[in-house]
Amino acid sequence: MSQYMNFKFNAHNIYLFAYYLSNRNDALGEYEPDWLWNKCDEITAKIVKTEFHFNIKQYLDLENQAEEQWANLNKHFPETDDYHPMYVQPNKFLIDKTGEKIDCNNKTSIIYPVRLYDSYGLGIKLIIPKKENSNYLSGKDIGLLNPDNCLMLDVNKENKYFLGQTLLITINLESIYKLKYKYNPEKLRRIADRYIDSLLPEDFRRPPFNRSGFLFGSPIFQYGIIRAPKSYNHIIVWFIFNDVAEIKIEKNYQQLLDLFFFRSKVVNAYKQIKRFEQESKNISKTIHSQIKITQNYDNKPEVLEKEENIELDLDKLQDLLILLPRFSVEYAKNLRLVKEFQNVIVENTRNYEDKIYEMRSNFLNEDFSFLDLFIYRTCYPCQERIKGTVNFFQLDINLINNAIDSIRGQVEVEQAHRERQLQNTVTSVGLGIAVAGNFASSYEAGSIAENKDGKNPEFLNLSFNIHHFLLSFCISILFGLIIWQGFSRFFSWRYKKKQLIRNKDLN
pLDDT at residue 304, rounded to an integer? 41
Question: What was the pLDDT predicted at 328?
Answer: 78
What is the reported pLDDT for 442? Answer: 60
Nearest to 218 by CA among 248, 197, 262: 248
Can you give the three-state secondary structure of 459-486, one letter per residue? CCCHHHHHHHHHHHHHHHHHHHHHHHHH
- Helices 314-362, 380-452: axis angle to 10 degrees equals 170
For the chain, give the percent of residues with pLDDT over 90.
25
Q: Can you tell me the distance from the alpha carbon of 149 to that of 16, in angstroms, rounded to the nearest whole number?
A: 13
Number of neighbouring beta carbons within 10 Å of residue 314: 15
Asked whether the beta carbons of 484 and 453 are under 8 A apart, the reply is no
Q: What is the CA radius of gyration of the chain?
A: 40
Please tell me the distance from the alpha carbon of residue 86 to that of residue 102, in angstroms, as a whole number: 11
Tell me the DSSP string of 355-384: HHHHHHHH-TT---HHHHHHIIIIIHHHHH
Tens of pLDDT along 383-410?
888 888 888 777 777 777 777 777 777 6
Does the pLDDT at position 458 exceed 60? no
Residues 6+ apart with CB under 8 A from 83: 72, 74, 112, 114, 123, 253, 254
Overall average pLDDT of the 354-359 stretch: 92
Q: What is the pLDDT of residue 38?
A: 95
Q: Looking at the predicted structure, is the pLDDT value of residue 97 above 70?
A: no
Task: Please name which of 338, 266, 226 lies closest in space to residue 19, comparing C-alpha atoms.
Answer: 266
pLDDT at 98 over 60: no
CA distance 299 to 306: 11
Total H helices, total E strands in the chain? 11, 10
pLDDT band at 3 (very low <50, low <70, confident <90, very high): very low
Pick the range with the lowest mean pLDDT from 158-167, 231-240, 357-366, 406-415.
406-415
Query: pLDDT at residue 169 above 90?
Result: yes
Give how far the C-alpha of residue 189 lies from the chain's centroid of Cα atoms, to the nearest Å. 33
Tally of CB atoms within 10 A around 237: 24
Q: How far is CA 343 from CA 227, 272, 340, 346, 348, in A?
A: 20, 13, 5, 5, 8
SS (H, E, C) 386-431: HHHHHHHHHHHHHHHHHHHHHHHHHHHHHHHHHHHHHHHHHHHHHH
Q: Which of 269, 273, 380 is nearest to 335 (CA)?
A: 273
pLDDT digits (tens, 9 = 90+) for 288-312: 777 776 665 444 444 444 444 445 5
Helix (H, G, I), strand (E, B) or coil at 309: helix
The total of other beta-carbon atoms located within 10 Å of residue 96's CB is: 15
Q: How far apart are CA 353 and CA 368, in angstroms?
A: 11
CA atoms of 347 and 454, how far apart (whole Å): 111
Half-sphere exposure for 153 (CA within 13 Å, toward CB): 27
CA–CA gap between residue 233 and residue 166 (Å, rounded): 7
CB proximity list for 315: less than 8 A, separation 6 or greater: none
Higher pLDDT, 88 or 136: 88
pLDDT of amino acid 122: 95
Q: Pairing mode, if any, of strands 92-94 and 86-89?
A: antiparallel
DSSP 129: P
Q: Determine the length of the chain.
A: 507
DSSP reduced 3-state for 446: helix
Cα 357 to Cα 361: distance, rounded to the nearest angstrom: 6
pLDDT at residue 353 in the model: 94
pLDDT-based confidence at 321, cuts 50/70/90?
confident
d(CA 440, CA 467): 12
* CA-CA-CA-CA dihedral for 196, 162, 43, 189, to nearest 10: 10
Largest CA distance in the chain: 144
CA atoms within 13 A on the CB side of 47: 30
Residue 213's DSSP bridge partners are: 220
- Mean pLDDT in the chain? 78
The band of 33, judged by pLDDT with boundaries at 50, 70 and 90, is very high
Least confident of 78-82, 185-189, 267-271, 474-478: 78-82
Residue that wins the pLDDT comparison between 456 and 209 = 209
Is residue 464 pLDDT above 60, yes or no? no
Q: How confident is the model over 216-274, as pLDDT tens digits? A: 888 999 999 988 878 899 999 999 888 777 788 888 888 999 999 999 999 999 998 88
* pLDDT score for 306: 47
- Expressed in angstroms, the distance from the first to the final Cα of the chain is 60
What band does 473 get if pLDDT is binned at 50, 70 and 90? Answer: low
To the nearest 10 degrees (0 to 180), the angle between helices 380-452 and 462-506 is: 160
11 neighbors 130 (Cβ within 8 angstroms): yes
369 forms bridges with which residues in the sheet?
none
Q: Is 279 helix (H, G, I), strand (E, B) or coil?
A: helix
